[in-house]
Amino acid sequence: MTISEFQQWIYDRYFPTDSARGTAATFMWFIEEVGELATALAGQDQANKEEEFADVLAWLCTLANINGVNLDKAIEKYTVKGVEGEKT
């Protein structure tokens, strides 16, 4: 599954609930998941690390969806030469 496909899957499954929650509350959920990832990274449980990475990515997609950001397009600054803001 590509990033674009995953973002669309999150949209199709959760957008009504996510958009009703709004950006501020969704951002708090995202930050909570980032904190759980930080804890997982300090440990040795690989399965837990994978789970927390997945949660962070899902909540990032949610934030992007409710703010009208296409992550596939956004990451072009890393993947497409000549795009303004390109990271080298």
| pTM for this model (two decimals) | 0.89
Dump pLDDT digits (tens) for 4-26: 999 999 999 999 999 999 999 99
Phi, psi of 11 (to 5 degrees): -60, -50
Superfamily the domain 23-79 falls into: MazG-like (1.10.287.1080)
CA distances from 43 to 32, 49, 55, 76 (A): 17, 8, 17, 33
Count CB atoms within 10 A of the CB of residue 87: 8
Say which residue, 80 or 29, is predicted with more confidence.
29
Dump pLDDT digits (tens) for 73-83: 999 999 887 76
Q: Which two tokens stand for residue 54?
A: 């997945």
